[in-house]
Structure 1
Amino acid sequence: MDASKRGFIEPGPGIASGLRDLPANLNLKTGSAGLVAAIFGCSGPALIVIGAAGTGHLTNGQTVAWLLAIYGLGGLISFVMALHYRMPITGAYSIPGAALVAGSLATFPFDQAVGAFVMAGVIVLVLGVTGLIGKVMRWLPMPIVMAMIAGALIRFGIGAVTAIDKLPLVVGAAIVAFFLSMRFVKVVPPVLSALVVGLIAVALTGSFGTNDAGISFVAPEFTAPAFTLDAFLAIAVPLAILVVGAENAQATGVLLAEDYPAPVNAMTIISGVGGILAGFLGGHNANIAGPMTAICSSDQAGEDKRGRYAATVVNGVLFAGFGIFAGAVVPLVLMLPGPLIGAVAGLAMINVLVMAFQSAFSKAAGFQIGAFVALVVAMSNVAILGISAPFWALFAGAVVSALVEWPAPEKTRPTTSATPAG
């Protein structure tokens, strides 16, 4: 039955069910996938947030509060969604959103930006409660969604290659370990082998970075929001569009590519609630994360799709811990070399990308022209009106298909009812 006929929020097995079976699904593969996703989310993206805080001349306490909001609530979202739906629906925050805010803080005082963060959460919540996003995702053809995912995530695959030029011995060792482990060592996840060998190479070559994050262990300092029309138009609206049109859309597409029936309305609603709560704490949002959902839902998290939600739980624990101890942990994590982190993240997404390309360009699925347009727009990383490429990829692909390929068989539309994959 269509989720829209059963209420705003798609039903799931329930948190009790997820908790009951969690111990049986916690293993080396789910643990390593959750760890890799957490390292990815707690390294480079954290530096973007710290840079944005510097642009706005925030105090160390305000910066720590920002990190506490986005990582603590992002981890909480992972717990709730993964355990309730028994799917690897992973929470975090919008990385492009942090870049958007960095530019805005040069113009707006931080209290007005905080007010805009809250308003962005309200917009996302309304879109989820009305079911509008779920209806759009059910209407969009599957090849266009999958092409958007391929185009948006391909940069991680390319990043694994370009990282070799930046740190040849370390990244090269990690990549070789990944494929050798995939071929010969079945009991150890290849992504864990890559990470361990990469860290050993870092230690042997002295490639650890220096502690220049500039944050000491201080208490969070919260900022009272101020609500203005200018900040609503310049920050809140673009940020809300980024959440639903980039992050949530990517996560939905990734889950569909892995044959999970994504609960789109619930994902949008909890992203709205997370955005509101994060805003009041001084963070720009807390929502479903595309790249980290891709890592936790890939085959690197185990062959049994029904157990991969445990990877998201592991990620949530690490994310929440990172937020709580941000002042002490950030400088340590940022000492890890960026090329190694990027390479391991790219390796973890190989099978997600393969499935996305296969689904996007299967002749039987149709919508090939629209899918190609979505692919190249997503790969372009273009930002128009402050809105990032994944949104425009879906829009452009749908418009082109409507002009030259519509209608097509109903089976090419995504299915988003919330029955656990099995």
Structure 2
Amino acid sequence: MNTETRHIIEPAPGFASGLRDLPKHLTVKSFSAGLVAAIFGCSGPALIVIGAANDGGLTNGQTVAWLFAIYFLGGLISLFLALRYKQPVTGAYSIPGAALVAGSLATFSFDQAVGAFIMAGVIVFVLGISGLIGKVMRWIPMPIVMAMIAGALMRFATGAVGSLGTAPLIAGAAIIAFFVSMRMTKTIPPVLAALVAGLIAAFATGSVGGAATEIAFVFPEFTAPTFTFDAFLAIAVPLALLVIGAENAQATGVLMAEGYKPPINMMTVISGVGGVAAGLLGGHNANIAGPMTAICSSEQAGDNKEGRYAATVVNGILFGAFGIVAGAAVPVVMSLPGALIGTVAGLAMIGVLLAALQNAFGRSLGNQTGAFVALAVSLSNITLLGISAPFWALVAGVVVSAVVERHVLTTTRAEGAAGVS
């Protein structure tokens, strides 16, 4: 690695330090947060991928290869970044990217889509190794980034409340256990108490085992890529923008809200490598995960933020294992009621949401109008040109601040430039 590249890639404590300190940080809290993040990532999002595969007419072998690629590599990303940087940077894959692929498979053959997956990874890698993404993320005013994060994650909190309407006993048991545990004891993590109480209620009401899937335990069937310009424009470019503008931007903002200094360029480079590797295996992109990073970086993962990377390590191991046995594991995880998964995930987001809102709308901060616009756009869940709301929230927030809060934006820009020089 030459001097210029070393300057772009952020320095790290290293694997030796991460491994040496890991045992003392593997606590009940870190394990429970990693488990909750893994259950979240291996449940609903897996259904999106399976649905996309079914719509595209993929064989069971191709579907299992897709799941193996994104889950196994997502787990490796978690282990690599968590142990190297000792931060809860959590890997997974692009959930909106799976939805994008689902629509594109009506037009493109799967081998063309696989070629586009690889090209998307190359785009992300080049943007990361150039250092451009790190400069842009540090240039955007912090209140706007935090407002985007609050808007993007708010749906999880409201989803937990909404679950009370669809499954009141399950969601209610989880919510009550969470807040009672928070009030009564420091020994049991509230999110673990919520998960256990919700599971008990789910079994008691006979709500476990309702899901079904046609996936059986079969060996992966890999697909040779075909590279076309049409697929590059329709799949590769939007997918790359989703990875950078939605997933990585969310994760970066979440980590900043929790007081970390995330390795933005390395996160982008690894997401590019994960995109190419996943494409070669038949998956759409293994990258940094916004919501799962939020769970593993929250106070639910441990009182000492220096040790919360242990939650990401736990998640990475579980995620990778899920990928290896995806054909058999999917039906098991899908048997859990969606209300339980949504409620526990929403409860785990509370700390991150509070920090994001405080950092977005604190009275001493500037860019308040731009931050509000970013919050509104992010909450809208709008999709334009195939790119989801978090990216447009950043764009809209910066544009509005540039128009009505120019002095504050200029000051922030100067400070950001100094921070990356």
- Fold match (TM-score > 0.5): yes
Separation of aligned partners in 2, 1:383 and 1:391: 9
- What are the equivalent positions in structure 2 for 1:4-403 lying under 5 Å apart? 7-403=7-403
SS in 2 for 1:364: coil
Instruction: Give the AA of the match of 1:68.
Output: F
Q: How much has 1:417 moved relative to structure 2?
A: 7.8
Percent of aligned pairs with the same residue?
71
Q: CA separation in 2, counterparts of 1:113 and 1:363?
A: 48
Aligned-partner Cα distance in 2 for 1:136–1:92: 23
Partner Cα distance (1:81, 1:218) in 2: 31
Q: 1:412 to 1:144 in 2, by over 3 A?
A: farther
Shift of 1:185: 1.7
Letter of the 1:188 counterpart? I
Cα RMSD after superposing both structures = 1.7
Which letter maps to 1:194?
A: A
CA distance in 2, matches of 1:243, 1:406: 29
Output the CA distance in 1 between the equivalents of 2:220 and 2:140: 42
Q: Secondary structure at the match of 1:220?
A: coil
Structure 1 position 302, deviation (Å): 0.6
**Separation (CA, whole Å) in 1 of partners of 2:5 and 2:186:** 44
Q: Which amino acid aligns with 1:312?
A: T
SS of match in other structure, 2:331: helix
Output the CA distance in 1 between the equivalents of 2:4 and 2:191.
Answer: 38
Task: Quote the Cα distance in structure 2 between the aligned partners of 1:177 and 1:369.
Answer: 38
Counterpart residue type for residue 105 of structure 2: L
Quote the Cα distance in structure 2 between the aligned partners of 1:404 and 1:211.
Answer: 51
Tell me if structure 1 keeps the 8 A contact 2:121–2:272.
yes
Q: What's the offset of the Cα at 1:243? A: 0.1
TM-score of the two chains, using structure 1 as the length reference = 0.96
The AA in structure 2 aligned to 1:219 is F
CA distance in 2, matches of 1:306, 1:359: 20
Matched residue count? 416
Per-residue CA shift, 1:249-268, capped at 9, x if unaligned? 00000000001001100000
* Cα 1:320/1:416, change in 2 over 3 Å: farther
Paired amino acid for 2:253: G
Shift of 1:414: 6.5
Q: What TM-score, normalized to structure 2?
A: 0.97
Contact 1:49 1:98 in 2 (8 A): yes
- State the Cα distance separating 1:415 from its structure 2 match: 9.8
| Distance apart, 1:209 and its partner CA | 3.3
Q: Which digits, 9 at most, give the CA deviation of each residue in 1:127-185, with x for residues without a partner?
A: 00111100101110000000000000000000000011010101101000000000002
SS of aligned partner of 1:287: strand
Change in 2 beyond 3 A, CA 1:150/1:415: farther
- Asked if the contact 1:144–1:374 (Cα under 8 Å) also holds between the matched residues in 2, the reply is yes
Cα distance 1:38–1:417, how it changes in 2: closer, same or farther (>3 A)? farther
Q: CA deviation at 1:362?
A: 1.2
Q: Distance in 1 between matches of 2:160 and 2:177?
A: 13
